[in-house]
Amino acid sequence: MCGIVGVVAKSNVNQTIFDALTVLQHRGQDAAGMVTCEADRFFLRKDNGLVNEVFRTRHMKRQLGNMGIGHVRYPTAGSSSSAEAQPFYVNSPYGIALAHNGNLTNTPDLREQMRKENLRHINTTSDSEVLLNILAHELQQIGKLKPTHEDIFAAVKAVHTRITGGYAVVAVITGYGIVAFRDPHGIRPLVYGKRETDKGTEYMVASESVALDIPGYTLVRDIAPGEAIFISQDGDVHTCQCAENPKLTPCLFEHVYLARPDSIIDEVNVYKARMRMGVKLAEKVMRERPDHDIDVIIPIPDTSRTSALEMAHHLDVKFREGFIKNRYIGRTFIMPGQTQRKKSVRSKLNPIELEFKDKVVMLVDDSIVRGTTSKQIVQMAREMGAKKVYFASAAPAVRYPNVYGIDMPSATELIAHGRTDDEVGEEIGADWMLYQDLDDLKDCVKAGNDSVTSFDASVFDGQYVTGDIDEAYLNRIDAERNDDAKDGENKPGSNENADLHATI
Ligand SMILES: O=P(O)(O)OC[C@H]1O[C@H](OP(=O)(O)OP(=O)(O)O)[C@H](O)[C@@H]1O
Ligand SMILES: NC(=O)CC[C@H](N)C(=O)O
Ligand SMILES: [Mg+2]
């Protein structure tokens, strides 16, 4: 779940892209990058780090041009080396740079095709570099000196027929404009918006609507599943449905955890969806234990706050901030290694004793994935003197790997894999474990837009909407990307860090 942005404006776009990336930082903390385009030149800067670490004033000054794209990365394929930070670049045809959110599920086949049939070199282990080369190859096949928007859409159509998985993509083509497209299931989000200026209308494409808000763009609409948008460098906008059988099945986990609450995805207000999750949890408490003895509801900041507040309200139980979050520590779940994640929970969250002492506390989190957070939090609540510790999750148990752009490749690393809900409760040390029902969670999102009727809920139900995921696939990504395997990457001397593009 990286964050992507593309802008076509009437003056330099570097600051707008920087601002948008800062707002999308919650989607990726490992690396950041930007390509701007002036006349027929690209200016690239990308590296590991947060947005404000990667782009210093000296870099920003070099990022010239009225159109460009940006990326914040949370790796789900390849390594976390700076060489795999995005955008990626190819010089032929035209000069194209691309940023991708999601994960392709047929990358090994595509690599083979690239090498043997399309005679293209891929220099990294990133699926996004493969994706860029597929797009480049398909544009090359059209072979026009000056491609029209129809030519660009024809290339996107061909890309859809070759790749599978989850992808929201933005690419900039030197001298022409920006093209963005969303996979035929609309798994990953993508929106576009515009801003009026004295010099004319400016456009932005972004992973989440919140990226539009900050620089003063207004949301026009979501990019539909399978649809592509082309914005020429002069600001002409064209859209086209490029997939054969598009069907919206957006990722349910975006609404649970990934997206910012102040975003609107597929016309669903994420904040309101999370409030409804709290209401449903309250209803479940009343179904299971109408005479419950909860004294206080405490959220595990940040993401669960919205649901926890609403749950408390509907149960008429006190809501208290029992954990204070260190605002200088980022999201722990999207950190690359388990050791770092574990350490960060304790330094990120500190309990306030008086909210726990002698009380029956109901802790609320948006989700439990590896159990890194919940295990430590339950223990902290006990150490603070809680009489009983209950735990509610606004999402159902996460039991299956994700293959569409969330880094959960290994079933065995998921605390709920092979365990019942109650067994997870025992494992994290809770006296009562309350999980949201999957149908309730879906209803919370559907209530925001009744035309969204199905979802990618694979992490909860093991159903993969692209239809190409089998046991062998899951075993392979487990072996390649489980925490032990990742610990071995980027060791000193590893040539994974060798980059073609110097990052200074
Ligand atoms: O079971 P786990 O593997 O620990 O993963 C789940 C936890 O990770 C996330 O928090 P995170 O700190 O990433 O972000 P937040 O501050 O937005 O809640 C999520 O909100 C849960 O708290
Ligand atoms: N989280 C993402 O969207 C990752 C994009 C891409 N697969 C990468 O690893 O860079
Ligand atoms: Mg959290």
Does the pLDDT of residue 18 top 90, yes or no? yes
Dist. CA 1–CA 334, nearest whole Å: 9
In sequence order, which ranges of 2-87 are alpha helices (DSSP H)? 14-23, 51-54, 57-62
Determine the average pLDDT of the residues in 456-469: 97
CA-nearest residue for atom 3, ligand 1, is 370
Query: Whose structure tokens read 């992507």?
Result: 4
Query: Whose structure tokens read 């208290």?
Result: 320
Report ipTM for this prediction. 0.98
Helix (H, G, I), strand (E, B) or coil at 226: coil
Least confident of 85-99, 131-145, 210-224, 323-337: 323-337
Dist. CA 239–CA 231, nearest whole Å: 9
Q: Which amino acid is at 441?
A: L
The Cα-based distances of 467 to 234, 406, 473, 494 in angstroms read 40, 18, 12, 35
Which pLDDT band, with edges at 50, 70 and 90, does 106 fall under?
very high
- Domain positions in the chain are 3-247, 269-326+346-450
Closest atom, ligand 2, to C-alpha of 28: 1
Least confident of 24-28, 79-83, 321-325, 486-490: 486-490
Dist. CA 331–CA 315, nearest whole Å: 29
Burial bucket for residue 418 (CB in 10 Å: 0-12, 13-18, 19+): exposed
The Cα-based distances of 92 to 95, 135, 144, 209 in angstroms read 5, 11, 12, 32
The residues near 94 (Cβ < 8 Å, ≥ 6 apart) are 139, 147, 173, 174, 175, 176
In sequence order, which ranges of 34-190 are alpha helices (DSSP H)? 51-54, 57-62, 107-116, 127-142, 149-162
Q: Is 242 a catalytic residue?
A: no
**Model pLDDT for residues 193-218, shown as the tens digit of each residue:** 999 999 999 999 999 999 999 999 99
CA-nearest residue for atom 8, ligand 2, is 75
Which pLDDT band, with edges at 50, 70 and 90, does 501 fall under?
low
**Does 503 count as an annotated binding residue?**
no
Does the pLDDT of residue 441 top 60, yes or no? yes
For the record, the structure tokens of 394 come out as 């606004």
Residue pair 1/188 in contact (Cβ under 8 Å)? The answer is yes
What are the counts of helices (DSSP H) followed by strands (DSSP E) for the chain? 17, 22
Does the pLDDT of residue 493 top 50, yes or no? no
338 or 60, which is more confident? 60
With a Cβ cut-off of 6 Å, ligand 2 is lined by 1-2, 73-78, 100-103, 126-128, 405
* CA-wise closest residue to 170 among 388, 288, 287, 17: 17
Element (H, E) at 334: none
Dist. CA 1–CA 403, nearest whole Å: 11
Test site for ligand 2: of 73, 183, 253, most ligand atoms within 8 A of the Cβ: 73
Determine the average pLDDT of the residues in 48-68: 96
Options 3.20.20.70, 3.40.50.2020, 3.40.50.11600, 3.10.20.340; CATH of 269-326+346-450 = 3.40.50.2020
Which pLDDT band, with edges at 50, 70 and 90, does 492 fall under?
very low
CA-nearest residue for atom 7, ligand 2, is 103
DSSP E strands: which ranges in 153-190?
165-173, 177-182
Which pLDDT band, with edges at 50, 70 and 90, does 241 fall under?
very high
For the record, the structure tokens of 3 come out as 């964050």
Least confident of 315-319, 447-451, 482-486: 482-486
Question: What does the mean pLDDT of the chain come to?
Answer: 94
**Does 303 count as an annotated binding residue?**
yes
State the distance from the centre of ligand 3 to the C-alpha of 166, rounded, in angstroms.
24
Residue pair 29/331 in contact (Cβ under 8 Å)? The answer is yes
- Same fold? 3-247, 269-326+346-450: no
Determine the average pLDDT of the residues in 312-327: 97
Strands 218-222 and 227-232: unpaired
The DSSP code for 464 is -
For the record, the structure tokens of 357 come out as 């002492």
pLDDT at 31: 97
Query: Whose structure tokens read 């600051």?
Result: 15
Does the pLDDT of residue 496 top 80, yes or no? no
Determine the average pLDDT of the residues in 392-397: 98
Report the C-alpha dihedral over residues 60, 65, 66, 70, rounded to 10 degrees.
-50
- Pick the ligand that lies closest to the CA of residue 395: 1
Residue pair 449/266 in contact (Cβ under 8 Å)? The answer is yes
Q: Which amino acid is at 214?
A: I
pTM comes to 0.96
Residue pair 111/130 in contact (Cβ under 8 Å)? The answer is yes
Options 3.60.20.10, 1.10.3720.10, 3.65.10.10, 1.10.645.10; CATH of 3-247 = 3.60.20.10
The residues near 108 (Cβ < 8 Å, ≥ 6 apart) are none
Which pLDDT band, with edges at 50, 70 and 90, does 232 fall under?
very high
Share of the chain above pLDDT 70, in %: 96
Dist. CA 254–CA 441, nearest whole Å: 12
Share of the chain above pLDDT 90, in %: 88
* CA-wise closest residue to 273 among 227, 310, 300: 310
* CA-wise closest residue to 309 among 276, 351, 261: 276
368 lines ligand 1 (CB under 6 A): yes
The DSSP code for 143 is -
Burial bucket for residue 204 (CB in 10 Å: 0-12, 13-18, 19+): buried
Strands 323-325 and 349-351: antiparallel
Q: Which amino acid is at 488?
A: G
Dist. CA 502–CA 504, nearest whole Å: 6
Beta-bridge partner residues of 269: 264
Number of Cβ within 10 Å of residue 421's Cβ equals 13
Dist. CA 22–CA 12, nearest whole Å: 17
State the distance from the centre of ligand 3 to the C-alpha of 389, rounded, in angstroms.
18
For the record, the structure tokens of 37 come out as 């385009």
Query: Whose structure tokens read 């035929």?
Result: 184
* CA-wise closest residue to 153 among 232, 88, 212, 208: 232
Dist. CA 103–CA 1, nearest whole Å: 9
User: What is the side-by-side order of every strand in the sheet holding 237-241?
Assistant: 88-90, 96-104, 165-173, 177-182, 227-232, 237-241
Query: Whose structure tokens read 């002036």?
Result: 38
Test site for ligand 2: of 26, 74, 79, 456, most ligand atoms within 8 A of the Cβ: 74
Does the pLDDT of residue 103 top 90, yes or no? yes
